[in-house]
Structure 1
Amino acid sequence: MNNNPIGIFDSGVGGTSIWKEIHALLPHESTIYLADSKNAPYGHKTQDEIIALSIKNTDKLLSMGSKIIVVACNTATTNAIETLRKNYTVPFIGIEPAIKPAALKTKTKRVGILATKGTLQSSLFSKTSELFAQNIQIFEVVGEGLVPLIEENKIDTIEMDLLLEKYLSPMITSEIDYLVLGCSHYPYLIPKIKKIMPSNVSIIDSGEAVAKQTKSQLEKHNLITSEVIKPRLEFYTNKSTSTLKQLLKEYSKSINISFLDF
């Protein structure tokens, strides 16, 4: 079992930002990544719909032999991970906005969070904010339209620039000093965000923390691979493979990207 792959799923291609961190920390581990781009974004769906999609993705990853599952989607984590953990015995790693480190480090006591509607309205996000962000002003912005543009490989477009200017301007006016990225798609926008935000604003995403937690859980359950041969790195999408290929082009010689109707 310990030589089986790590399973990872997201509402689309964004979770590859998480995969990159996991692969960097655990280079010998085989991985299977599911990009549910056909149903992206999850942020506007009801909780029941998000749970149903998360169960579908989990069942597919388990049928492919996954030993642990990383829910590389903030919306799926905040809405469905409790249900997944109750219904399956495999370990699950979730991802949620990094409110805690931002709240602990902020000097202005003003923190911005850019996330999907589904994440910001979830009970898990609400609990996390109440727990760690007392006496901190949280400026929440729904990144409407950002995920579809990333899914369509339209990161470097005027449309993307205009949306980011629109969403980030109020945070600049509010003098935040930390910006939390609450969607696994958004790390791909960091170069653009840095051009817009003042240099004193720190940007936080959850990728590295998720990778560390994945390693910790693998060790806890004695699931670290014993193989030192080249790992299998498989990516499946139920839509066009072109955006995945673009986002992962530096890994093109070691990965396999395929269409899969799931």
Structure 2
Amino acid sequence: MADKRAIGIFDSGIGGLPIAQKVRELLPNENLLYVADTQFAPYGEKSEDEVLARAQAVVEFMLSQNVKAIVVACNTATMIAIKTLRAKYDLPFIGVEPGVKPAAIHTQSGVIGVLATEKTLSSKAFDALAKRVAGHVEVVIQPSPKLVRLVEELKLNPDEACAAVESYVQPLIEKGADTIILGCTHFAHLAPVIELVAGPNISVISTETAVAKEVLRRLENENLLSTQSMDGESAFCSSGDLALFQRQLTRLWGKDALAQKF
């Protein structure tokens, strides 16, 4: 029997859209519910208690919409909240964490750089992740708050974003990093600019495809895949400015995307 319930995907803003796009490509028959908690963005500047409270509020809304699984498409929320969410709610949660493991395998210089929010980089979960999978390399961290705001403001072109990107990327390169991790889902929108600034000798690692594959794996394992033959529908909700969210969706998803309030 087809499980037509939607997959829930949430972030503090539009950072999770690249993950949603990869899930849509990999699972075209699934219905998706994307929630941008923009009234309370960015999570990277909130306390851990605030992030946990907002994550639970979004999950409660998604459960009221009868989702079958939830993707926490935000590094900060994953680091802070996913353990509590999994303990409290009886459905699959798929998180996103910085790609430290592939970076540690890939690096030739023995130094990897991480662009992320201060909240992610200072979390116990990130510290444990780095020690577990990258103990043999040097991990250089770089909080990058301006990049989140650039993305939310749709300032994604090189002429708009290069200066801010360079101010964060250059210190990592100067410290010997040959591999840079995009440790915030928002930064995938700026990947072309980051790659341009970093240059051809620096590898840039993002995790959207890996997260989408994990969604597929979890749904398969729990017999939650939709077997409907028609294309799935995508719904988009925001707790913040709907006019802004509509502009963001139109540019980043397509003209058919409709912004709704939650």
TM range (shorter): over 0.9
Match of 1:126 in 2: 127
Q: How many angstroms does 1:230 deviate by?
A: 2.5
Match of 2:79 in 1: 78
Q: For residues 178-189 of structure 1, what are the structure 2 equivalents within 5 Å?
A: 178-189=179-190
Gaps of 5+ in 2: none
Q: Does 1:106 align with 2:84?
A: no
Distance 1:212 1:26 in 2: 9
Match of 1:6 in 2: 7
Match of 2:59 in 1: 58
Q: When the two structures are superposed, what TM-score results if normalisation uses the length of structure 1?
A: 0.94
Specify the SS of the correspondent of 1:111.
strand
| Bigger proportion of residues as helix | 2
Distance 1:49 1:2 in 2: 33
Distance 1:126 1:175 in 2: 20
Match of 2:248 in 1: 243
Q: Provide, for residues 85-123 of structure 1, a one-character-per-residue CA deviation record: whole Å limited to 9, x for no partner.
A: 010001100001010111112111010100001110111
Distance 2:156 2:150 in 1: 6
**What amino acid maps onto 2:228 in structure 1?**
E
Distance 2:248 2:230 in 1: 28
Q: How many angstroms does 1:143 deviate by?
A: 0.7
**Do 2:7 and 2:33's aligned partners in 1 also have CA atoms closer than 8 Å?**
yes
Match of 2:200 in 1: 199
**Do 1:34 and 1:236's aligned partners in 2 also have CA atoms closer than 8 Å?**
yes
**Do 1:103 and 1:111's aligned partners in 2 also have CA atoms closer than 8 Å?**
yes
Between stretches 190-199 and 112-121, larger displacement belongs to: 190-199
CA RMSD in angstroms comes to 1.3
Match of 2:69 in 1: 68
Match of 1:162 in 2: 163
Distance 2:200 2:14 in 1: 28
Q: How many angstroms does 1:243 deviate by?
A: 1.4
Match of 1:227 in 2: 228
Q: Does 1:217 align with 2:218?
A: yes
Q: When the two structures are superposed, what TM-score results if normalisation uses the length of structure 2?
A: 0.94
Q: For residues 140-159 of structure 1, what are the structure 2 equivalents within 5 Å?
A: 140-156=141-157, 158=159
Q: Does 1:137 align with 2:142?
A: no
Distance 1:202 1:8 in 2: 27
**Do 1:40 and 1:148's aligned partners in 2 also have CA atoms closer than 8 Å?**
no
Distance 1:140 1:64 in 2: 38
Q: Provide, for residues 52-72 of structure 1, a one-character-per-residue CA deviation record: whole Å limited to 9, x for no partner.
A: 000011011111111000000
Structure 1 segments, 4+ long, off by >3 Å, are: none
Q: Provide, for residues 140-193 of structure 1, a one-character-per-residue CA deviation record: whole Å limited to 9, x for no partner.
A: 000121111211112227552211111111112123111100011101111111
Distance 1:95 1:17 in 2: 12
Specify the SS of the correspondent of 1:245.
helix
Question: What is the percentage of aligned positions where both structures have the same residue?
Answer: 38
Q: How many angstroms does 1:29 deviate by?
A: 0.6
Q: How many angstroms does 1:209 deviate by?
A: 0.8
Specify the SS of the correspondent of 1:228.
coil
